[in-house]
Structure 1
Amino acid sequence: MSAALPDTVADRAGINPVAKLAAASVLALGLIFSVDWVSALTALVLEIALLLVLRVPPRLMAVRGALVLLAAGLTAVTILLYGQSSGTVYWHFLLITVSDGSITLAAATFLRVLAIALPSVLLFIDTDPTELADGLGQVLRLPARFVVGALAGLRLVGLLRQDWQYLGFARRARGVADHARLRRVAGQAFALLVFAVRRGSTLATAMEARGFGAHPTRTWARPSPFGGREIALILAAFGIVAVAVGVSVGTGHWNFIGNL
């Protein structure tokens, strides 16, 4: 990373992306076995504390977490209206039933989606795709051909929007984009697919010619260190899951997902 970047970004970027991926996976796997609001809320509070320790700015957390909050809210509304009904029924219309059970389940689902998705989004705020590919290839020992190919494809995703604009300009210049909007969008989407396939084929041929398919001789330009900070982050994720589950079981709110 450049020295001109803020210290907070540089510090977070110093953590290997594989450790971030492992921590997010631990949190997700540890929270999917129960649907209760206690464990989700406990994990969410501890995750926010961990993100603050990692120096993620609160404003950035609020901005990036807005979409997660929206997704969690929409999921909770669906559970509220169509979830399992129990206890007092407050409103019923056709298939919609709002009851004590659906309200509790909706609240638990809302908190659980936040607890699972929020760290996954925020931990990868400043992760460079090249650094992630280096970690997957050097730390996890994934096949270099797969890793580098996926990285190259990911780098080309940003060109799709530019290609879509150029296709639109070209079709308007030829006078074929003034009518039948639905047909125009379908034809332009097919042309974009053809462009993507051609560019991918060209890139694959160029990479093959430069030796990217020779796995035994694959070398990495930059090392991907994995040390104490990475281990501490993964252990912190295990600790958050352990505390969340322990508090839920201790308070009697543990609700194994298989019992729903």
Structure 2
Amino acid sequence: MSALLPEIQDSAIARVNPVAKLAVAVFLSVTLLLSIDVVSASVALLLVGILLFWSGLDARQFWMRTAPLWLAAPFAGLTTVLYGEDSGAVLFEWGLISVTEGSLTLGLSITLRVLAIGLPSIVLFATTDPTDLADGLAQVLRLPARFVLGGLAGVRMIGLFLDDWRALGQARRARGVGDSHALVRLGTQAFALLVLAIRRGSKLATAMEAKGFGSDIARTWARPSRFGVAEVVLIGIGIGIAGVSVAAAVYAGTWSFILDRS
């Protein structure tokens, strides 16, 4: 049974093998990390934005899942503008803070690059069922079954941890111990959740071992993980986006290989 919502499960990207999505995310990330310039990041972000229309996420789901990224990207850019490498004309200076034309361009490049790398990664894996990903890692990439199944079990526990956190907070308030200082309450509740997680992990490990998940015998899989035309097309699109963004930056003369900057 899929953990995805029906409207996401039926989307074009959700039906693609998760291994192909992982390959696209890794390839785009590595390519965009090779240079820090505005053009390549802008082109990649534009093309990725067009691709996201086929993700199946509605506007609310998209903004809810990517909200941390929209907050982190401008912050990273602002930090670079204020404290990054100075070059060109000085636009503003006060104490340790200096804003120059070079740092402003660099900050904009960092902001766009964080968005261009983060958005496809978040959306691609928002359309991926953890069980499908585990099947792909084990059957397509041939990763060890013990590692894959252990990771899958951990991912499946995230939802339970969220429920446990809410239950712990409600229980502490019911006992009258949840009104202390925010940092104290966070620390004590986090420690209680850690103890609960360790106990649950031990029980889960024992149960999985009892059911033969730790055996050295080759496993069979309930659902075959196929890698076909759709997966090749998606990887091709990812390579195309990376290639076009690099070509645009080279043509515009803004390409700056990251190793050359050092």
Task: Say yes or no: TM over 0.5.
Answer: yes
Match of 1:164 in 2: 165
Aligned residues: 258
CA distance in 1 between partners of 2:62 and 2:175 (Å): 46
Match of 1:105 in 2: 106
Deviation string 1:119-138 (CA, Å, 9 cap, x unpaired) is: 11111222111111111111
Report if the CA contact (8 A) 1:143-1:215 is conserved: no
Matched, 1:201 2:202: yes
CA distance in 2 between partners of 1:17 and 1:233 (Å): 11
Report if the CA contact (8 A) 1:144-1:215 is conserved: no
Match of 1:67 in 2: 68
Matched, 1:115 2:101: no
Match of 2:254 in 1: 253
* AA aligned opposite 1:71: A
SS of match in other structure, 2:126: coil
CA distance in 1 between partners of 2:99 and 2:191 (Å): 45
Shift of 1:142: 0.7
Shift of 1:182: 4.5
Match of 1:214 in 2: 215
Matches within 5 A, 1:1-260: 5-6=6-7, 9-52=10-53, 54=54, 56=56, 59=59, 61-62=62-63, 64-179=65-180, 182-260=183-261
Structure 1: segments with no counterpart, 5+ residues: none
CA distance in 2 between partners of 1:233 and 1:194 (Å): 42
CA distance in 1 between partners of 2:55 and 2:166 (Å): 38
Deviation string 1:124-171 (CA, Å, 9 cap, x unpaired) is: 222111111111111111111111111111111212232233334444
Structure 2: segments with no counterpart, 5+ residues: none
CA distance in 2 between partners of 1:89 and 1:170 (Å): 56
Alpha carbons of 1:55 and 1:212: their partners in 2 closer, same or farther (altered >3 Å)? closer
Alpha carbons of 1:241 and 1:94: their partners in 2 closer, same or farther (altered >3 Å)? same
Shift of 1:204: 0.3
Alpha carbons of 1:49 and 1:141: their partners in 2 closer, same or farther (altered >3 Å)? same
* AA aligned opposite 1:151: L
Report if the CA contact (8 A) 1:8-1:55 is conserved: no
User: How much is the aligned-residue C-alpha RMSD, in angstroms?
Assistant: 2.3
Deviation string 1:92-114 (CA, Å, 9 cap, x unpaired) is: 11111011011111111111111
CA distance in 2 between partners of 1:257 and 1:237 (Å): 21
TM-score, structure 1 normalization: 0.90
Alpha carbons of 1:186 and 1:139: their partners in 2 closer, same or farther (altered >3 Å)? same
Shift of 1:77: 0.6
SS of match in other structure, 2:93: strand
TM-score, structure 2 normalization: 0.89
Deviation string 1:180-222 (CA, Å, 9 cap, x unpaired) is: 6644443332222111101100000000000111142311111
Report if the CA contact (8 A) 2:80-2:103 is conserved: yes
Shift of 1:176: 4.2
Identity %: 53
CA distance in 2 between partners of 1:7 and 1:66 (Å): 19
SS of match in other structure, 2:91: strand
